[in-house]
């Protein structure tokens, strides 16, 4: 069973949102943002959506290449 986040149920502060924006600008993967901020990946995605922060796909080729 997954261990609850240390900030489970904690409100997002303006400083948290600013930090989220900085991670997003650096194209940091959502699971890494969650680990660094002590929040779940779902929480990070939800807050990004509410705050209009773009979490563009990271580490993905623009072409869907498949290795044989």
Mean pLDDT calculated for residue range 3-19: 80
Residue 68: pLDDT above 90? no
Domain total of the chain: 1
Residue 9 lies in a domain: no
What is the C-alpha separation between 45 and 17, in angstroms, rounded?
A: 12
Residue 66 lies in a domain: no
Give the model confidence (pLDDT) of 17-57 as tens digits. Answer: 999 999 998 888 888 999 999 999 999 999 999 999 988 77
Residue 20 lies in a domain: yes
The answer to whether residues 65 and 40 touch, using CB atoms and an 8 Å cutoff, is: no
Residue 61 lies in a domain: no
Residue 63: pLDDT above 60? no
Which residue range(s) make up the domain with 32?
Answer: 15-50
Residue 40 lies in a domain: yes
């Amino acid at each position: 069973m997954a261990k609850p986040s240390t900030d489970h149920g904690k409100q997002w502060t303006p400083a948290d949102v600013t930090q989220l924006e900085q991670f997003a600008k650096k194209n940091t993967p959502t699971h890494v943002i969650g680990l660094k901020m002590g929040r779940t990946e779902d929480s990070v995605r939800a807050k990004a959506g509410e705050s209009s922060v773009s979490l563009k796909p990271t580490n993905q080729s623009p072409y869907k290449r498949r290795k044989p």
